[in-house]
Structure 1
Amino acid sequence: MRDFTRWIELEGAVNVRDLGGLATVDGGTTRFGRIYRSDNLQGLTERDVRVLVGDRELRNVVDLRSGPEVRLEGPGPLTAVPQVSIHHLTLFAEGGLYTDVEADTAGGDAIEGDKVLPWTARDENDERMAELRVTGYYYGYIRDRPDSVLAALRAMALDDGAAIVHCAAGKDRTGVLCALALEVAGATREAIVDDYVATGDRLEGILARLRASETYRVDLDNRPADDHRPRAEYMRQFLGVLDERFGGPLAWLASQGWTESDSRTLRARLRD
């Protein structure tokens, strides 16, 4: 059963929760107040900023959106807070100095929705194909941008205050990074999958926010919200691919230059 005290209620974001309180393989739980996950932070109010920066000591923001998304949405309110460091680490392959080719179809003036929001084109007639399709995008993040993945995890582990990781919906790119962080911290697979599907509890609000933005509206359709719901099999399949191809997420991280020192640092953030 999910612990609903993990949710953080803000006025300008709807899918914000703590990575604390999740079961670990050694019988413990992950630590509260260290790492948060969220949907787009563009709409934070002054009160929200006070809650995050003042009350919760937020100091590092890991922004997984593509370059075009950031440009189209404009600077968010946290970019103006001197205590906060923004780590922009796109998970899409870059085609040049300013363009993310996997998410950019018009020279930075548009995004390719099925890259940014892979669940918008789910095949309603074949659940297995939908599972493979979404999992393929998740694998693409680590295949195309292992540098961003490792840099994001290291930023999440910084100990100068709390960190928050986000993308647009706080589901796919954020879900992959949080799954990897929780794996390093020793969370159970059940807890990792539970955290992933928890986004479904806020799906109506997420879709309303995305449709209110010109950046994402054109790539969303009028299907019921349940058609966009995160499904446990998507995350299970993604983690299963890492198990089969690399011997697990930790082995994949090690193959990309992640060290035992990195693991100790991240575990110290998320474990007592």
Structure 2
Amino acid sequence: MTRWIELDGVVNMRDLGGLPTLHGGRTREGRLVRSDNLQDLTPQDVARLVDEVGVTDIIDLRTDVERDLTGPGPLTETSLAHHHLSFIDEGRHPGAAPSDADTGRDALVLSHGDPDRGTPGFWTRHYLGYLHQRPDSVSGALGIIAGSRGGAVVHCAAGKDRTGTVTAMALSVAGVPDEEIIADYAASGERIRQIIDRLIDVEPYKWGLQGRSLDEQTPRPETMEMILRTLEDEHGGATGWLRQQGWDEDRLDLLRARLLG
């Protein structure tokens, strides 16, 4: 894969340009970038994202707890537009206790009582929970991508679950075939060791990672297959889901145009 963006401060960043569409075109480079946590970016990393990649908007999908514990990050010192849209209904997400620690654990899915923990079905239920419980944040993130002046970086902590849900929906609206969306989702598995190594000793993520296996956190193609199939069967795809959130055709076309140019 040549879409990886190699920086010192991240391990799971890639440009979603260059993907084929069902209509014979390709997604534009520098329009949508997905990433893990941006807290460790170096000054050189920041300069590359701004000056070379052309990033103008940062879409942060982490919870308030995550942001408070890890700090603001170096990009907040730039003129980039920052948007915070938590995907987790803090204190009310299934299995989450009302304490800060438990809210942080839930961000990376610690659920000792679930016998299916780590399976594609488990992750599918978790991702669909974003759509059911925080449709405002999911729709809002996609709206920011559609309206960004330049490149938009979508990130959470690991850059695979919350970020993967948003980018999959954006690519689906743009007409990228399911198999390409699934392959991009699964690509984070190539760097799962580095992803977990970045987070395993960091509050609040260590609560959900220490003592757990890499296999439980590795993204599986079957998970995204189930997400896309559920969206199609229950909502008429990502476009149908967005229509149910109040999007009209002009707004859908704006998202497509942003990604396709």
Partner residue in 2 for 1:87: 83
Instruction: Classify the secondary structure of the residue corresponding to 1:37.
Output: strand
TM-score, normalised to structure 2's length? 0.92
Instruction: Classify the secondary structure of the residue corresponding to 2:34.
Output: strand
Partner residue in 1 for 2:109: 118
Aligned match of 1:36 in 33, 37, 43?
A: 33
**Structure 1 unaligned regions, length at least 5:** 95-99
* Contact map agreement 2:34 2:163 (CA 8 A) in 1: yes
Q: What is the alpha-carbon distance in structure 2 between the residues aligned to residue 197 and residue 11 of structure 1?
A: 22
* Contact map agreement 1:61 1:165 (CA 8 A) in 2: yes
Deviation sequence 1:118-146 (CA, Å, 0-9, x none): 388697x869x822221111111011111
- The amino acid that maps onto 1:85 is A
How many residue pairs end up in the alignment? 260
Alignment of 1:64-213 (within 5 A): 64-81=61-78, 83-93=79-89, 100-102=91-93, 105=97, 107-108=99-100, 110-113=102-105, 115-118=106-109, 130-213=119-202
Aligned-pair distance for 1:25?
Answer: 0.9
Aligned-pair distance for 1:85?
Answer: 0.9
Q: Does 2:255 align with 1:266?
A: yes
Q: Does 2:246 align with 1:250?
A: no
Identity of aligned residues (%): 45
Q: What is the alpha-carbon distance in structure 2 between the residues aligned to residue 158 and residue 238 of structure 1?
A: 25
Aligned-pair distance for 1:214?
Answer: 2.4
**Structure 2 unaligned regions, length at least 5:** none
Q: What is the alpha-carbon distance in structure 1 between the residues aligned to residue 215 and residue 89 of structure 2?
A: 30
Partner residue in 2 for 1:55: 52
TM-score, normalised to structure 1's length? 0.88
Shift in alpha-carbon separation, 1:93–1:58, aligned structure 2, 3 A: same
Q: Does 2:227 align with 1:238?
A: yes
Q: What is the alpha-carbon distance in structure 1 between the residues aligned to residue 62 and residue 46 of structure 2?
A: 20
Instruction: Classify the secondary structure of the residue corresponding to 2:103.
Output: coil
Shift in alpha-carbon separation, 1:63–1:93, aligned structure 2, 3 A: same
Shift in alpha-carbon separation, 1:120–1:40, aligned structure 2, 3 A: farther
Partner residue in 2 for 1:97: none
Q: What is the alpha-carbon distance in structure 2 between the residues aligned to residue 116 and residue 122 of structure 1?
A: 16
Deviation sequence 1:174-210 (CA, Å, 0-9, x none): 0000010001111000011011001011111101101
Aligned-pair distance for 1:61?
Answer: 0.3
Q: What is the alpha-carbon distance in structure 2 between the residues aligned to residue 28 and residue 61 of structure 1?
A: 26
Shift in alpha-carbon separation, 1:212–1:12, aligned structure 2, 3 A: farther
Segments of 4+ in structure 1 off by > 4 A? 119-123
Aligned-pair distance for 1:101?
Answer: 3.6
Across the aligned residues of Structure 1 and Structure 2, the Cα RMSD in angstroms comes to 2.2
Instruction: Classify the secondary structure of the residue corresponding to 1:214.
Output: coil
* Farther off after superposition, 213-222 or 14-23: 213-222
